Copies of this chain bind each other. A is one copy, B any other.
Amino acid sequence: MADRPNVVIVGAGFGGLSAAKSLASSPVEITVIDRRNYHLFQPLLYQVATAALSPADIAWPIRSILSSQKNARVLMGEVSGIDLAARQVLLGKRKIGFDYLILATGAREHYFGHDTWAAHAPGLKTLADATSIRRQILTAFEHAEAEEDASERARLLTFAVIGGGPTGVELAGAIAELAKKALARDFHAIDPTAARVVLIEAGPRLLPAFPATLSDYTERVLRRLGVEIKMDSAVTACTKRGVDLGEDTLSAATVLWGAGVAGSAAGAWAGAATDKAGRIEVGPDLTLPGQPNIFAVGDTAFAKGPDGSPLPGIAPVAKQQGKYVARAIRARVAGKSAPKPFRYKNAGLLATIGRRAAVIDFGFVRLKGWSAWWIWGIAHIFFLIGLRNRVLVMVQWLWNYLTFQRGARLITGTGDD
């Protein structure tokens, strides 16, 4: 098989896996490289962070996903760079040669130049982030229960979420439900239902990518859940004490960052031009400028829709791009003409707020409330990989729904647990 072209895919997220699977029956040899041994279903990560699901419910071993795909091998390791001239990916001491390279390395938090904020306002991108946020939230209640000073207790029971996009809305709603329902009866010295959950948005409305009617609805539902919303509030600092909003300081022991994401280091590896957020500016065929054999997909790429606006950083975009790149490589290998420029087929925007409340914008139709929540739930179950995880997530959602409890309320990762 030495004469079959080598396709190297860096990153086994939605984009990378979709490309790998789409090349299953193509005459290429695929190497999938990831620093982790699992594919993560990021849309449900906030449910791990808020104790509703376990990490293994939303993660699958990459090897296991690709085990029956004969032309794919998996390497676990951290890519440190690319040798463009030699066409090699640098993986520790190893060098992995490629004929085609797909960069699908995802995104990380973007603190708009304030990287010191990261220590006080963690974001939610990885399983480690999720279990660490879960620990932080649950520990805040435990510390509050033991605290005798009233103002410190209030600080411990204040949870600030920065960013009114889907991540911020989902986190704020889920923390409010955790405090006001699941934990309500479990403490003696404190009243968890009195916890403050504050959602901070720099702009004039929540979910700015959605139509205004859905933003209004989201705001109403969150307020009904007891979430305080601070609109038009620009964060000027995240510190050990809490969040500074210009003159004001919100005293909060837990501050979570859902305000911005940036591309990964892939742009620097490839010496490619990136936008402010570090995403690689790809051409209409998703290749890097001047590098016709190197593609970028998903959050790694800065791609535009037909109207010139940037595509959202969501799973359907990454998946469609992965498929498109596979098609492009297949055409190239077969000596056929390249496919037409990539065009995103709108799969809708979804965000869940809480129990029986979600919003969906399909473009041609907009849904909110109970119906949107059902569609959101069914879609997410459908897109999970494998029967096992579908059943596990359904069982836990049913239990959460019926009992108002959260089943994964474990404080782990303290080093001695």
Residue numbers in B under 8 Å from A395 (CB-CB)? 388, 391-392, 395
A391–B64 Cα gap in the complex (Å)?
Answer: 24
Residue numbers in B under 8 Å from A57 (CB-CB)? 54
A54–B68 Cα gap in the complex (Å)?
Answer: 25
Residue numbers in B under 8 Å from A145 (CB-CB)? 75-76
A122 at the interface (CB under 8 A from B): no
User: Which of B185, B388, B409 sits near A37, CB closer than 8 Å?
Assistant: B409
Chain B nearest Cβ from A258, distance in angstroms? 20
Residue numbers in B under 8 Å from A236 (CB-CB)? none
Q: Mark A82-100, 1 if CB is under 8 A from B, else 0.
A: 0000000000101000000
User: Which of B59, B64, B399, B417 sits near A186, CB closer than 8 Å?
Assistant: B64
Q: Mark A48-59, 1 if CB is under 8 A from B, else 0.
A: 000000111101
Chain B nearest Cβ from A117, distance in angstroms? 19
A344 at the interface (CB under 8 A from B): no
CB proximity to B under 8 Å, residues A256-307: none
A411 at the interface (CB under 8 A from B): yes
Q: In the complex, are the beta carbons of A146 and B407 less than 8 A apart?
A: no
A408–B408 Cα gap in the complex (Å)?
Answer: 15
Residue numbers in B under 8 Å from A203 (CB-CB)? none
Q: Which single residue of chain B is at the shortest CB-CB distance from A31?
A: B188
User: Which of B38, B146, B407, B408 sits near A94, CB closer than 8 Å?
Assistant: B146
Most buried by B among A128, A183, A412: A412
Q: How many copies of the shown chain assemble into the complex?
A: 2
Residue numbers in B under 8 Å from A55 (CB-CB)? 54, 410, 412
A232 at the interface (CB under 8 A from B): no
A335 at the interface (CB under 8 A from B): no
Residue numbers in B under 8 Å from A185 (CB-CB)? 67-68
User: Which of B38, B127, B146, B411 sits near A36, CB closer than 8 Å?
Assistant: B411
A225–B271 Cα gap in the complex (Å)?
Answer: 52
A126 at the interface (CB under 8 A from B): yes
Q: In the complex, are the beta carbons of B417 and A126 less than 8 A apart?
A: yes
Q: In the complex, are the beta carbons of A64 and B409 less than 8 A apart?
A: yes
Q: In the complex, are the beta carbons of A409 and B67 less than 8 A apart?
A: no
Chain B nearest Cβ from A197, distance in angstroms? 20
Residue numbers in B under 8 Å from A61 (CB-CB)? 186, 409-410
Q: In the complex, are the beta carbons of A409 and B38 less than 8 A apart?
A: yes
A231–B186 Cα gap in the complex (Å)?
Answer: 50
Chain B nearest Cβ from A415, distance in angstroms? 7
A216 at the interface (CB under 8 A from B): no
CB proximity to B under 8 Å, residues A346-380: none
A26 at the interface (CB under 8 A from B): no
Chain B nearest Cβ from A13, distance in angstroms? 14
Q: Which single residue of chain B is at the shortest CB-CB distance from A412?
A: B127
Residue numbers in B under 8 Å from A67 (CB-CB)? 185-186
A54–B407 Cα gap in the complex (Å)?
Answer: 12
Residue numbers in B under 8 Å from A416 (CB-CB)? 35, 126, 128
Residue numbers in B under 8 Å from A54 (CB-CB)? 54-57, 408
Q: Which single residue of chain B is at the shortest CB-CB distance from A399?
A: B388
Q: Which single residue of chain B is at the shortest CB-CB distance from A142?
A: B76
A188–B410 Cα gap in the complex (Å)?
Answer: 36
Could you list 22 examples of A-B contacts with CB < 8 Å?
Answer: A35-B417, A36-B417, A37-B138, A37-B410, A38-B410, A54-B55, A54-B408, A56-B408, A61-B410, A64-B409, A67-B185, A67-B186, A73-B188, A74-B186, A94-B146, A126-B417, A127-B417, A128-B413, A128-B417, A388-B403, A388-B405, A388-B407
Give the 6 A-B residue pairs with the shortest CB-CB distance, closest first. A56-B408, A63-B186, A54-B54, A61-B409, A73-B188, A388-B399
| 15 other A-B residue contacts (CB within 8 Å) besides A76-B145, A126-B416, A391-B399 | A35-B417, A36-B411, A54-B56, A54-B57, A56-B409, A56-B410, A59-B410, A61-B186, A64-B409, A67-B185, A92-B146, A127-B410, A388-B403, A395-B395, A413-B413
